Structures are given as C-alpha cells and as structure tokens.
Amino acid sequence: MRPLALRAALVALTFLAAVPVAAAASAVRHDERPMLLPATEGPGAAAASASSQPATWLVAAEPGRAQAAATARRFGAQKLRTGVVYRVATVRARAFAAALRADGALRYAEPDTAMKHASALDAQPGGYARGLVVEPGIAPPAPGAATIAVVDQQVDVTHPDLAGHTTVLNPGPLLGPHGTMVASAATGALNGSGVFGIFPSNPVLSVGLPLDLRCSDAANAVVAAANARARVINLSFGSPQPCTTLYAAVQIAFARGSLVVAAAGNEFAAGNPVIYPAAYPHVLSVAALNAALQPSAFSSENAAIDVAAPGVGIPLAIPTVFDDDGVADGVTLGSGTSFAAPIVSGAAAWLATVRPNLRNGQLADVLRRSARDIDPPGYDLGSGFGLIQMGAALAAPTPALDPLEPNDGISFVDGSVFTNPDRYVWTGSGRRTFSATADRLKDPVDVYRIRLPARSQARIRLRPAFGNPDLFIYRSDARSIDQSSRILARSRKAAGQTDAVTVRNTGRSARRYYVAIRVAANRGVSLSTSYRLEFQRTKFRR
C-alpha cells in the first residue's frame, strides 16, 4: 500500500447523500471470516422479535462440497455471485445452516444487512466542485477506455447529460434519482447545459439496485460490475453493519482489476460510526469537503478515509420527475459523500485512460499520493491524504506494484472466496525472493501458499524496508489467521529487524503451509510496511 502516519478506525452501507452523523470511531478487525456466528449459525428463535430480524440470511458453504447445492435447493436458498454463498429466508436459515454443518460444509452465516438510500439536497450556490479538482487548462482525454460502473439506483439514460454514454446492465424501472445524480458528478456531458462532470461523457455502466437495498443485492451487483470489466466501480451507499459477503464481493472485484471507490459516510453528527464498504481493505474511501476546503459538517471521520473531494452543494443531473427544486430543468444541487465519491471515480477513470498501465491498486496509490494536503498538515481522519488533484495525479510517478493481491486472509488464497486457490509462491526448489507492502487498515494481512517437499527444511526471512511486519507460519488445515492453534512458527522482532523462522517437513509426502505477514500495532510506528520475503531450502536435519 503506502507509508502513512498512525491511523485508527473504519466505515458502513446506505446511499450516502447528506445524512446526519457523529464521532467515536470503533476499530474493526478485517480477517477472512469476521462474521462467523458462534453457537447458532442461524437466527435465534427467541433472541429477537420478528420485527428486528432481517427477511433473509446469508449462509456460506465450504467450496468443493457437492452436497451443498442439493441442500440449498431443499431449503429454497438462492446462490449469489460471491463464492458459495446462499440467500435464504430467515425462517429457514437456522435449519439450512445446521444441515450444512452436519455435512461439514458450513463456512459462516450472517444477517442479510439492510441498507437504505438516503439523499438530502442542499441548495447552496454550486459550480465550484469540478474546478477544485481539475486545474484550468487540463483537457480530458477521449473517453471510452475506462468504464465506470455506477452500482446504485438505475441511471436515467434519457437525461441529456448522460444519454449516449450510459448503458444499463440490468434494465428495469427507474427507481429513484440517486444513481442519475451520482453518474452525472463523474461523467456529465459537456453539452452546453446541465452538469459538467469530472470526466465528461466517459462510459457509464448502470448496475441497478433496489430501493429496499440489502447486502446480498449489493454483493451481486459488485460482482456483476466486475464481470462486465468495469475499470472503476462507484459505491455511494453504506451501512454501519459489516457484511462478510459484500466484503468478499469487493475483493473479487479488486482481483478482477476493478478499482472500487466508496462514499465514506455522512454520519459525523450521529455518532461517527464506521461505514462499509468504504472501510474494507482495497476500497478507496472518499470524504466530503465544503467550498472552504474543510471537512463537511456531515462527513464521517475515521482512519479508513483515503482522500477527499467536494461534497457540499454539488451540481447534479436529476430525472425531471424528481426535480422539485422549483425549476424543472433536470439539474439540482446535492450534498453528501455520495457525490464526493463519483468525483473521485471520474478522476480515477481519467487517470486510467491516460495511464493504462497502472493497475487498480496503483491507481489508488497515485490518487492518494498526489492529493493536496489540507489542514491539519499531513494525514488526518477528516480528509485522509487530502483533496484529489487531476493534474498532480497525471504527473505523479508510478508506484511499486503490490503483488498477488488480494491475499488478506487464508480464505482468499485457499479457494474459499475465489474459484481456485492461489498458486504456490514457492515449492521448495532453490531460493525465491520478492517484495510487497501491507497496511494495518487497508491491506491488513498478506498470506502466501508454499509447498515443502517430503523430508525437507526451509528458512523463511522477512526483511522490512520500513514499518514493523511480523511473520507467522500456519499448518495446511488452518482456515483463518485467528486460529492460533494452527500456528507452527512465528517471529515478532522489533521494527527494522529481520524476522526469520525454520519450517521442517518430516513427513513422507509434500506438505502445504501458509505464510502470513501481519503489521504489528506498535505505538509510534507506521501502520504500513514495505518488506522483502525470502524462501531458501536448507539442509534437512533428522
């Protein structure tokens, strides 16, 4: 990822346009199975009233278990696009999970988190937003090379500012104004009227979401956008409740080359909870600034914030049927991180068009590193690395590529989330060395698969360039980095020192191991790290 000063928290899911919020960020653990339920994998019959229960639950099966599909049919469960995850009616969730568990096929179960569309218009003088991001004299490139997927309410393709460059992936009725407003902030056409977006007339793929938005809907839509090869995926919704299934969907999108940009949340005045998906690893989280370049009164503050963009009084296109500001011209003003996020999405698509060799992680790093710092100096919880700047991003040097991402847990490399397990980074022959980075909040863990031949021994070394990474070796039957009983060896030296372990396979056949790199939470030490990992076969000692 990137070096940065100490940071500390995270974010959630609803269409995010100026909604009140407050301040008390809670730390959230990002591992591969954060939502695994304890004793009861389904909703407790007496634990809560029917009104407090979601209509559906999400139940995940272990990959490669042929009986899971038949069990799902028996309970009327619907398979999602993310791994082997099923949506099932709440009344059947406990029994379905129990049936999978009896077959040794249950991975996790979680409520199908509800998300809401929330737009609150703020009729302040507008027109400033694009000028704060795109310096005078910088002309956008010819659009077409980097599609932006707007995962939101369906975009109005008849609106003059969006007609001609917007297609709809899942046609249906126009459910609300939010998607059209979001799309116009990113790509509103330069046609002499209406809204002039950051990257005018760039292709938009509208991936429609229902008004009654749930985690399962969002997860399916994100994977659909990634399957459609969207270069940038904009998520202007959120929830304070994390959802493992959406987390997996975001990582699938990242693995397929999409840069996921998400609204950080409008919850500062309502307790400042962490909002997802903006807080997930490998998501570019965007805060909202006002015209004075200060964090808006509503924009959430936490350590997951990456960058900021204008988010108060933004000129936006709106379907005329929803245009109730007194002039039915299809244009309005809106406020919220919902509209700061697509400004960043437009800039990311522009950057990807001009610099097509940048990978998605590098696009995010360039936007962070080239941002204009605002008060207070340095990284801060309200604006992240600062206001994105198009000119500086176009001229910024190419960051180092972080290999093999996403690999933030064992489930991301063993085939649980993705169709196939990752290739082994080393199979016991000779010596291999490679470099990578990690960040305690945005890239919290790096996990690699290795295979050691029978009756052989290896020395594994972790050399930090900066920061304080620690080294852990897990047995082949480990399913999560939280399973301390599956740790074979570990090394946790002080910052700047080399960690090293020896691994021995005394068996008569080759064995698999998981090598995990985790960033230590030492006070005063950067929460990001760059490191070199070395594997070397050594003499086997009986």
Q: Which residues are catalytic?
A: 152, 178, 338
**Tokens at residue 22, please?**
């407050």
Burial state string for 249-279 with b = 16 or more CB within 10 A and e = fewer than 16: bbbbbbbbebbbbbbbbbbbebebbbbbbbb
Q: Quick one: CA torsion of 10, 12, 18, 20, rounded to 10 degrees?
A: -80
Which positions ≥6 away from 380 have C-beta within 8 Å? none
Q: Is 40 exposed, middle or buried (0-12, 13-18, 19+ CB in 10 A)?
A: middle
Q: What is the dihedral of CA 209, 211, 217, 222, to 10 degrees?
A: 30
Q: Rounded to whole angstroms, how far apart are CA atoms 165 and 382?
A: 34
CB 305 within 8 A of CB 275: no
CB 318 within 8 A of CB 17: no
The answer to whether residues 528 and 469 touch, using CB atoms and an 8 Å cutoff, is no
How far apart, in whole angstroms, are the C-alpha atoms of residue 411 and residue 429?
A: 26
Under a CB-based contact definition with an 8 Å cutoff, are residues 315 and 181 in contact? no
Distance of CA 427 to the CA centre of its chain: 31
Q: Which of 53, 173, 48 shows the shortest CA–CA distance to 114?
A: 53
- Please give the Cα distance from 172 to 73 (Å, whole number): 27
